[in-house]
Amino acid sequence: MKSVNGGPTPSQRGAGTLLVAVAVAAALAVAAAVLLVVGYSGAQRGAVAAADLTALAGAASYVRGQDVCAVAEQVAQANRVRLTKCEISGDSLDFVVSVTVERALYLPFGLRGVGLPEVVQASSQAGRLSPP
């Protein structure tokens, strides 16, 4: 039904405003989801890199006769992760240093995913093994 002057009928007034509001809300929801995914994947990659560096530093310190877990702890702190596990297995020729680290998530605007962890973990191993 058309109004007398050709404009929108009274029942259609405000429909454009509602449509724009819904579109903006959907765009904000998508942006928040993207920020969560980027935040988690970035933190996970950082934790993996820090775990690799920590394990390599531990293995190098084992060869030099230093305290493996103390060196691994220093390297972990320098990479802004927390060392949660440090183990050495094997002997002086064939050994493996295993580490696990945790990295806290820093998401912008206080975003937190419902049911998602607040830290990410990564594990790594380094050492010198003889060929089989």
Q: How far is CA 94 from the centre of its chain?
A: 33
CB atoms within 10 A of CB 11: 8
Q: What is the pLDDT along the chain (132 residues), one digit of tens a residue?
A: 555 566 666 666 777 888 899 999 999 989 878 877 887 888 899 999 999 999 999 999 998 999 999 999 999 999 999 999 999 998 878 899 999 999 988 766 666 666 667 889 999 999 987 665
- Whole-model pTM: value is 0.73
> Strand, helix or coil at 100?
strand
Query: For the chain, which domains are there?
Result: 19-107+116-128 (3.30.1300)
- For residue 129, give every residue at least 6 positions away whose Cβ sits within 8 Å of its Cβ, in sequence order, or none: 90, 94, 95, 96
